[in-house]
Amino acid sequence: MENLSINKISDFWNWFESLQSELSSDRITDTLINKLNDKILSLADLNWEIREGVEKPNMLIISAGGDNELVPVAKEIIKVAPNLKDWEYSYYKPPKKWNYDLSLKSHIGFDKEINVESWEYVLLKFKDGTFGIIIKANNINTLKEDDKYTVADIVLENILGDDLSYSLIKNVEIVDEFESSRIKNKNSIKYLFNHLLEQI
């Protein structure tokens, strides 16, 4: 935190406020996306996203992306965000309201759309209160192994939000079929959020 000055944060928000209309989720250009990315990365190695807001038209998320040391930095930046009519803010990615459709092109460069509604999972609870998850996701079988896990991480983040996803899911395994002893515990991926909350 000592390297991040209040002036630097203020400069960022002054810039953001001056371009608030152009930065909205339905108007932002690739050039402005790159500029915003540079501005945020100049503050710290943070993740960000612009999406439709819950109570206002737009939401800017600036999050630590799983790096616990950066959580206070993201919180500090969001704490001093300007009060704008069309914008709300968050220091973590909340669960997404979505239809389970995912564009692989925007995440791993593979030109394909998939729907993950058919995915199934088995949740494993560890003694320390964290979880492992075994996922059966047959519509990503053709992807490289690393890409499969990247897609699975994105799906978990969309369903749980990055706060829960990073803090509670400690192990992810992708399988073609569940072991016979696991089948009775399988669920549709659509139930994961509520299931996890019940287990905490």
Q: What are phi and psi of 32, to 5 degrees?
A: -70, -35
Contact 9, 77 (CB under 8 A): yes
How many CB atoms neighbour CB 72 within 10 A? 13
Q: pTM score, two decimals? A: 0.77
Q: In this structure, what are the phi and psi dihedrals at residue 112, rounded to the nearest 5 degrees?
A: -155, 145
Closest Cα partner for 47 from 103, 11, 92?
92
Local confidence pLDDT in tens for the 200 residues of the chain: 445 788 999 999 999 999 999 999 889 999 999 999 999 999 999 999 999 898 999 999 999 987 889 999 999 999 999 999 999 999 998 898 889 999 888 777 778 899 999 999 999 999 999 999 999 999 999 999 999 999 999 999 999 998 899 889 999 999 999 999 999 999 999 999 999 999 98
| Separation of alpha carbons 46 and 162, rounded Å | 13
Rounded Cα distance between 72 and 61, Å, is 14
